[in-house]
């Protein structure tokens, strides 16, 4: 189902909108200004979701941030909230699989050893997006926060 048309305020109408990557490309890249910059963000999203599906076999992703607004400003990034279908499977991840999961998430206040350094924020895909994991009890909080902005957002399922 295609994403709805832009509102007069240049946002998607409020609420969650089921979409696939083709729908997102059509509305948020092709039908928006700064297509070259949006192409880069779309490629980051596409790659990111490809890796996510290898670590999290089934779930949903909500897409937000500057990418989902049709403004004259060049979008600087996008946000992705991951909602896994099977939390038990994620809790059982160990070793490289667990490390891969952490590599998909935006981490704040990170300390790295050898040489010791403090990083304010570590983001996936070279900083083009922020990835967040919504715990089951947090899903309503995320939706309320994003809905309070007066705009809608795409939801992808895999």
b/e map 95-119, b = 16+ CB within 10 Å = eeeeeebeebbbeeeeeeeeeeeee
Give tens-digit pLDDT for 27-66: 999 999 999 999 999 999 999 999 999 999 999 999 999 9
Average pLDDT over residues 92-106: 92
Q: What is the pLDDT of residue 113?
A: 75
- Mean pLDDT over the full length of the chain: 92
Q: How confident is the model at residue 118 (pLDDT cuts 50, 70, 90)?
A: low
Q: How confident is the model at residue 149 (pLDDT cuts 50, 70, 90)?
A: confident
What global pTM score does this model have?
0.90
How many CA atoms lie less than 13 Å away from 30 in the CB half-sphere?
10
Element (H, E) at 143: helix 139-147
Packing angle between helix 95-103 and helix 35-55, nearest 10 degrees?
160
Q: What is the pLDDT of residue 119?
A: 65
Domain edges within the chain: 16-135+151-157
Q: Which CATH architecture has domain 16-135+151-157?
A: 2-Layer Sandwich (3.30)
User: Of 102, 97, 96, whose CA–CA distance to 82 is shortest?
Assistant: 102
Average pLDDT over residues 125-144: 91
Assess whether pLDDT exceeds 80 at residue 67. yes
């Amino acid at each position: 189902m295609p994403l709805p048309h832009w509102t007069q305020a240049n946002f998607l109408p409020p609420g969650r909108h089921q979409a696939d990557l083709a729908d997102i490309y059509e509305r948020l890249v092709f039908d928006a200004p700064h297509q070259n910059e949006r192409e880069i963000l779309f490629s980051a999203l596409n790659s990111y979701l490809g890796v996510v599906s290898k670590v999290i076999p089934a779930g949903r992703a909500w897409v937000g941030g500057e990418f989902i607004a049709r403004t004259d400003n060049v979008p600087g990034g996008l946000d992705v909230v991951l909602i896994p279908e099977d939390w038990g499977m994620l809790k059982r991840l160990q070793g490289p699989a667990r490390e891969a999961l952490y590599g998909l998430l935006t981490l704040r206040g990170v300390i790295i050893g050898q040489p010791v350094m403090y990083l304010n924020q570590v983001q996936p895909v070279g900083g083009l997006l922020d990835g967040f994991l919504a715990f089951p009890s947090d899903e309503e909080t995320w939706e309320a926060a994003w809905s309070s902005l007066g705009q809608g957002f795409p939801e992808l399922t895999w």
